[in-house]
Amino acid sequence: MRLLALAIAVALSSTALAQSPYAGMQARSIKSLSEQQVADLRAGRGMGLALPAELNGYPGPSHLLELADRLDLSTAQRDRIRQLFDSMKAEAVPIGTKLIEQETALDQQFASRSITPDRLQAATAEIGATQAELRNTHLKYHLETVQILSVDQTRQYAVLRGYADNAPMRHHHAH
């Protein structure tokens, strides 16, 4: 009986001491964004926002430039993809900065206890619109880059990225 009581006491104390998966996040400057996410947003990185394109055979400019030699991209292809990458980054950085500012403002409203239902609705609607704009920015460049590649290059890209078994190649190429 004592052993059972001891086992129950240990189980209950272990449960009580278990930490939330959010433990430590309270020290973040922006509670909803990690330092890595802030850095990625400031740098215009994709952060997985274009996965529907990437994983369905629509390569993005950043990864294409990384694999340019192995894909045997021509000078013209490299130049065009570099232009697209630069344009994507020029669009994504200010949107990422805007998202950081919006998340900071929302966090500050909660921290100062000044949040109201109306302010919450407005802030989250703005954040959602900015997230959609950022995602669209990354996805649309995947649509453009696939037009620059041959079917063989698109297939080779899928192999190099480890997607070969699940990479449908059913889009049209302007090549």
Average pLDDT, the chain: 88
Pick out the chain residues at pLDDT < 70. 1-18, 166-175
In a domain, 117, yes or no: yes
Q: What is the pLDDT of residue 26?
A: 83
In a domain, 39, yes or no: yes
Nearest one of 153, 155, 164, 163 to 73, comparing CA atoms: 153
pTM as predicted: 0.81
In a domain, 23, yes or no: no
User: Which stretches of 112-167 are DSSP H helices?
Assistant: 117-146, 151-161
User: How far apart are alpha carbons 60 and 50 in whole angstroms?
Assistant: 8
In a domain, 106, yes or no: yes
Nearest one of 126, 138, 143, 120 to 41, comparing CA atoms: 138
User: How far apart are alpha carbons 135 and 25 in whole angstroms?
Assistant: 25
Total domain count for the chain?
Answer: 1
Structural domain of 59:
28-166
